[in-house]
Every structure is written in structure tokens, then in C-alpha cells.
Amino acid sequence: MKNNKSLETLKKGHLYFHTKFERVERITEVHSYGVVAHRHHDEKRVSLTRDFRKATAEEVKAYLGK
């Protein structure tokens, strides 16, 4: 099932929190069928758009090592 709301909000290159992996991921591709390619540092994966939410400032800082 498509999650059009997520497709509209997820943007390539931006950081989001992956709720199943419980970590920040960078979106590398957004596909029209509800799937996104993403990476956590050098680890690449593919997931559903519904698995993501906007990352908090603290989560982003931790991911970036600041």
C-alpha cells in the first residue's frame, strides 16, 4: 500500500529516523511505489517509506558526530 504522505515529505539527501532500526539514515533515492533507498554511514539498504519519521536535532547531531 502506498504511503503518499511520506512520499511527499521524504527528500533525497535528507536525514530521517528509521523507526525499525532505531537510527538516523540518509535518504539516497525515493521511488514512487513507497520504497526508499537509504544509508547509515556506509551501510546501504532499502525500506518502506512508512518506516521513517523526521529526525530530531539531537538525533541528527549524534549521527553527524557533533
Q: How buried is 34 (Cβ within 10 angstroms: 0-12 exposed, 13-18 middle, 19+ buried)? A: middle
- Per-residue pLDDT, 1: 38
Q: Which pTM does this prediction carry?
A: 0.83
Separation of alpha carbons 58 and 1, rounded Å: 31
Whether the CB-CB separation of 18 and 25 falls below 8 Å is answered with yes
- Per-residue pLDDT, 8: 60
Question: What is the DSSP code (8-state) at residue 34?
Answer: S
pLDDT digits (tens, 9 = 90+) for 7-55: 467 999 999 999 999 999 999 999 988 999 999 999 999 999 999 999 9
Separation of alpha carbons 6 and 62, rounded Å: 24
